[in-house]
Amino acid sequence: MSATLKFITKYAVIGLACAFLYVLISGKINPQDKTIQQPQLLFSYAPAINQITTSVVSIHIQSNQRRPINAPGISPRTPYQTKNYLGSGVIVSTNGHIVTNKHVIDGATRVVVYLWDNRAFEASFVGADPLSDLAVIKINAADLNPAEFADSDLINTGDVVLAVGNPYGLNQSASLGIVSATGRQGLVESQAVQLENYIQTDAAINQGNSGGPLINPLGQVVGLSAASYGQFGAEGINFAIPSNTTVRIVNELIEHGKVLRGWVGLGFLMDAGYAMYGIPKPAKGIMVHKVHPDSAADLAGIKAMDVITHINDQTVNSFEQYRKILYENSIGDAVTLTGYNQDGDFSHNLTIEPPLSTG
């Protein structure tokens, strides 16, 4: 009897131990037991999406385009045909101002904006800037929620970002990625190449995303979605215009209808000029070729053959860098030009002026 009792006791203990382990692992005793806590999500980007959703709009564009001369079909027909396009935008003021890409509304005969709650409004044109590919349109609507813009100078490669917009008509869509690089240049074959300073990201930016926000995990705008890398087979290479550039251009467009870019009166020697004139190219900086009379640079004492190395502590090693940095400032802003000449180093404080009229 003693052996039998030991046998029963042994396996009873084993059974209780197994039951204890099952409860410990599964976390369940009874479905009706209200003391058992359901597992919580460790992290979600839902608050960021909720923060930006009411500030993102879908843009529907109509344009009239000339039909190809040899287009198939029954003749006679009207020489133009109506085409429809999609884009995105970001509300930037309670007065109804919306920023988007210039290429989104190029050639538009009608622009209709849909808000997050499906209200639709005809938009009017405020202004556009070809060099930055930014444009501002306006709607007459109440209860608008402008987006919050972050300082894009503070973002770094590896930061998490989300692209929100209207890809292929799927409004209020979001995609997740990281900042792949900053300060990308040389991506567009146009005059805008002079001002390129793109944020590169692997967050998906598809047709219809253009003009929509690239946001950080706080729901703040760090960039404006602009383009995808067009090379065959390329994936996860997309670009956005930094928020700091966007804010500056938007303010100019709202105030003036265009961007007023100034100068200080300097012309520079291009690469071919060094060989043409037999002048050694400086190891750093760019060489002044011409100083316009009575300009800010002339009054400050800058001369031909001077080499400019910095604007406001930002390094300048090409005319493209010089122009980009100068255009980050507005007419009336004070800038400091640093450089050197045969007499040594110099530093001059100048005020940006309107460019000379060409008549």
Residue 274 three-state SS: helix
The model's confidence at residue 193, banded by pLDDT at 50, 70 and 90, is very low
User: Which is more confidently placed, 193 or 356?
Assistant: 356
Residue positions annotated with a catalytic role: 103, 133, 210
**Most confident listed range (44-53, 176-185, 257-266):** 44-53
**Residues whose CB falls within 8 Å of the CB of residue 121, separated by 6 or more in sequence, listed in order:** 96, 112, 113, 115, 139, 140, 141
Kindly tell me the burial class for residue 200, based on how many C-beta atoms sit within 10 Å of its own C-beta (0-12, 13-18, 19 or more): buried
**Predicted pLDDT at 32:** 47
**Predicted pLDDT at 66:** 65
Q: What is the pLDDT of residues 123-154, one digit of tens each?
A: 999 999 988 899 999 999 999 999 999 999 89
Kindly tell me the burial class for residue 73, based on how many C-beta atoms sit within 10 Å of its own C-beta (0-12, 13-18, 19 or more): exposed
Residue count of the chain: 359
Q: Which residue has the tokens 């890409």?
A: 101
Q: What is the pLDDT of residues 282-319, one digit of tens each?
A: 989 999 999 999 999 999 999 999 999 999 988 998 88
d(CA 94, CA 358): 38
DSSP character string of 233-259: T--S-EEEEEHHHHHHHHHHHHHHSS-
Cis peptide before 354 (omega within 30 of 0): no
Count of beta carbons in the 10 Å neighbourhood of residue 80: 12
**Predicted pLDDT at 95:** 94
On whether the CB atoms of residues 150 and 221 are closer than 8 A, the answer is yes
User: Which is more confidently placed, 221 or 263?
Assistant: 221
Residue 33 three-state SS: coil
pTM equals 0.71
